[in-house]
Structure 1
Amino acid sequence: MTRTTPPRAVDVAAACPALAPLARPATRLHPRSGTPSVYDSSIGGPLLWPTDEPWPHCHGPHDWNFLTDAWNPHGLNPLQSLADAKLTRHNPVPWRRTADVPNAMLPVAQLYTRDVPGLRPPPGKDLLQILWCPLDNADAMPETALVWRTAADVTDILNTPPMPATVDYGYSYIPLPCTVESERIIEYPSDFEKLGSEPLEQMRQWASRQQTGIDPDDIKSWFKDNICVAPGWKVGGHIQWGTTDPFPQPCPTCGTETEPLLTVASCEWDGGTHSWIPYEDQALADDYSTTIGPDVTIARGYKMILRVCPTSPDHPHVQLMQ
């Protein structure tokens, strides 16, 4: 099934010319429950990983956790084992503090360039793989690993990746396997204070001319929720600032300002962003407004954005929570 976002209620170029030059494409991923294979783009699905390449591990330090050693005694697929445990809220081992031993990472996203417009791979690469540690790091986010590869080079596939030694007690970082239905959209920045007074004044004038019924004092919030930045998982686009004011995150290698690569969302929409619900999902709006898809939770329901250097995909990425 494809997903189609309803058109925005505003022609931004006409209503707010100051925002129009700042348009940026984004790709909504629309992850939905499924059974992807290693040859599919997915969220929380299996990775096309070569047997002769070491699996990424996180070396901590970590906070309070519980052991998962007993979860897979029969050699079941570890991803399915963890997903089943999450769905049943199975807790075989009591709370305890574990030693800071290397912790095997879990697949977060596998994105083939053929499926996801907007990815900018290194020359010759066509597959992006992102993994994370299923525990918080010192910044209250999971540590992530980012790998670009050429899919055709992987002929001997690792079918049983290592199991994490520990996972978050609330299962927050175990994404349920989902297929991806990519959709290209256009976004605009929502950090209006940084843009000066002109965009906000143009929004107020538009609301007045159109007799929208929107309080001019609330027009900024309305644009932010309904026009500028889409909710949910996506590639590229703009950042929906809110937890903090906008601040620079330069590339650790060259100092160039980083750009959003992947936004990992705690929900696909919420009460303020129903206008972004795809046509195909609108019957679910009241029942699944915050739990549809991979069912991960960043902190208390925020987003995590992986940012990369626009000058070189080989430079290290940085993380942001909003």
Structure 2
Amino acid sequence: MSFVALAQFFGRDVPGPVAGPGGADLVQRFRCPFTHGPYLERRCLPQRRWTAQTEQADHFLAAVPEVPLLRWEDELPESCVVHPEEVDTCPWAEDDTLPAALIARIDAWDDAQTAEGGRDALSYQGALSIPPGWRVGGFPGWASTGPMDITCASCAVPMRLLLIAGGDELDPDSHSWMPLEDRDPSRRGMASVRGGQSVAQPTRLRFGRDRDLHVFTCPSGGGGGDGMTAR
């Protein structure tokens, strides 16, 4: 079974965490369109290449390979082009990811926002810390597992976040991250989001238990390469 393209990005578009061993500046991620084993696991294939080599390739595929009949629509990505936008992220506020006193202040601020704004209230995790959807670099989110130490299996060095892939681009806590072109300026909160399901789930994908796929990479370059997990 052929793998299906999941993501591709160049170092010239997303500098920083993209650079791999030997200066490889093209990151590619592929995914098997079928699940495997009793836990319905997804098999992914990471690739790192050099842009100069790919641009000098002898030939390219003239047509996209045919995909076999799939059981679920969310097993095949919706083709799209990414237009990178730089945003600031902040650490997840739980356990020892931040000083205890600062987490207590964040919790108190969240409570005050909820008391004042109800369902559409801002929250630190959803509106100020971790953007929803697809992202390269920044801080990871730990919604389903809580903060964990991710270390390289080969050299025991702490790994860093390379890529987050998500099924949804917004949720009740993330309306503050919505692009201006997808907003109705006359309305507030989630009611301001327009465009329907195509805006909420532009890639048609699902990961794990409707969570995000996190790809971590070893900063030493000579260790275990990249590791993937759903959070």
- TM-score (normalizing by structure 1): 0.58
Q: Give the corresponding residue for 1:174.
A: 76
Deviation at 1:166, TM superposition (A): 6.8
Equivalent positions of 1:138-153 (< 5 A) are 138=37, 140-153=40-53
CA contact (8 A) 1:234 1:262 kept: yes
Question: Unpaired segments of 5 or more residues in structure 2?
Answer: 185-191
Equivalent positions of 1:81-230 (< 5 A) are 103-118=1-16, 119-138=18-37, 140-154=40-54, 155-159=57-61, 160=63, 163=66, 167=70, 169-194=71-96, 195-203=98-106, 213-215=113-115, 222-230=123-131
Equivalent positions of 1:23-42 (< 5 A) are none
Moved more, 120-129 or 243-252: 120-129
Identical-residue share of aligned pairs (%): 23
Moved more, 308-317 or 129-138: 308-317
Deviation at 1:294, TM superposition (A): 1.4
CA contact (8 A) 1:264 1:303 kept: yes
CA contact (8 A) 2:94 2:103 kept: yes
Equivalent pairs counted in the alignment come to 213
Give CA-to-partner distance per residue, 1:123-161, whole Å, 9 cap, x none: 343311111111224554421111111222232234156
CA contact (8 A) 2:73 2:204 kept: no
Question: Unpaired segments of 5 or more residues in structure 1?
Answer: 1-102
313 and 133 in structure 1: CA distance in 2 versus 1, 3 angstrom threshold: farther
1:108 counterpart letter in structure 2: L
Q: CA RMSD in A?
A: 2.9
> In the alignment, is residue 309 of structure 1 matched against residue 210 of structure 2?
no
1:280 to 181, 202, 214: 181
CA distance in 2, matches of 1:200, 1:225: 15
Deviation at 1:215, TM superposition (A): 4.0
SS for the counterpart of 2:183 is helix
CA contact (8 A) 1:307 1:318 kept: yes
SS for the counterpart of 2:103 is helix
Deviation at 1:240, TM superposition (A): 1.3
142 and 191 in structure 1: CA distance in 2 versus 1, 3 angstrom threshold: farther
Moved more, 262-271 or 120-129: 120-129
Deviation at 1:314, TM superposition (A): 6.1
CA distance in 2, matches of 1:316, 1:215: 45
CA distance in 2, matches of 1:206, 1:281: 28
Equivalent positions of 1:227-306 (< 5 A) are 227-283=128-184, 285-286=193-194, 287-288=196-197, 291-306=200-215
Deviation at 1:276, TM superposition (A): 0.7
Give CA-to-partner distance per residue, 1:17-59, whole Å, 9 cap, x none: xxxxxxxxxxxxxxxxxxxxxxxxxxxxxxxxxxxxxxxxxxx
Give CA-to-partner distance per residue, 1:161-186, whole Å, 9 cap, x none: 6555674x113231111011101111
Q: Give the corresponding residue for 1:321.
A: 230
1:197 counterpart letter in structure 2: A
SS for the counterpart of 1:107 is strand
- TM-score (normalizing by structure 2): 0.79
SS for the counterpart of 1:187 is coil
SS for the counterpart of 1:145 is strand
CA distance in 2, matches of 1:207, 1:294: 31
